[in-house]
Chain A
Amino acid sequence: MNSFTPTSSPHPHGTGTDDSGSPAGPPRGKTVINDAVVAKIAGLALRDVAGIHAVGGGAARALGAIRGAINSTDHSQGVSVEVGESQVAVDLSVVAGYPVPLQQIAEDARTAIIDAIETLVGLTVTEVNVTINDVHLPDETDDTARADVQ
């Protein structure tokens, strides 16, 4: 896993909270933000997105259920990030709720992640690729319990 060091390039929003050196003098130390942090922030940003039923593929969700049971939830589940010098690309895999328009969910997730990473981390997001890997049907759980009258 590699990590990146924010350079003295201007902050995308101009807040400049993570600028490592003062503009006048030589930099006094550097800030390193690990990839895992970026992935976690992206994962947490998805909490507020309506219509997402779960995050992650089948195996990730199965593992996530176990981790959740022992109180060590992986917040970056289903999120993979590729971090460069000043840019980041995100790949995301979600299970959508039914009946929410899938393109809408993808767009909302994309906006939430871009907002969170650009404001909290200060990296520019080049792309967020969203994969809707499944759709959760609300009446699926009581499907087997209810016998069909024939």
Chain B
Amino acid sequence: MSGSTETLAPRGRTRVTARAMTRVVSAVAAESLGVKPSQVSVDLADAAGRLDLTVRTPIRVLPLDQVETAAPVDGTILDRTERAQHDIRGTVAALTGADIAGVTVRLTGARIRRSKRVD
């Protein structure tokens, strides 16, 4: 299957299918940007034998009327996206053992979600 990665172990090979890789990437991206895994779309590409990831995802933002009252503790959207990009690279590499060449995060929208009033 295209997009699957294979590693050699002492007694046998381990293959991670493209589907499994896509799931892991979307879960990590979703977690990091506060959206659901199903809202994230992932493209896997080959970059000279390494794995190149393109993630298209919405981002979770605060409603505009709350921006002043509740100061965003985690920075601007660009900051958060950049942090998410690093998260994806680190966590996906740790979870799947893939050699990641690059991660492109493309924001496709904003999901406005009010923070819970009670925990």
Contacts and interface: CB of A to CB of B under 8 A. Distances in A.
Interface of A: 90, 95-96, 98-103, 106-107, 110, 114, 125-135, 137, 139-140, 143, 148-150
Interface in B63-117: 91, 94-97, 111-114
**Main secondary structure on A side of the interface with B:** mixed
A106 B95 CA distance: 12
Contacts, number: 88
Contacts of A134: 17, 19-20, 23
Given A98-B27, A137-B23, A143-B38, A129 B113 contact: no
Interface string B1-31: 0000001010111111101100110010000
A96 to B, nearest CB: 7
A149 B34 CA distance: 13
A131 B17 contact: yes
A150 B113 CA distance: 6
Given A99-B95, A148-B111, A129 B12 contact: yes
B79 to A, nearest CB: 23
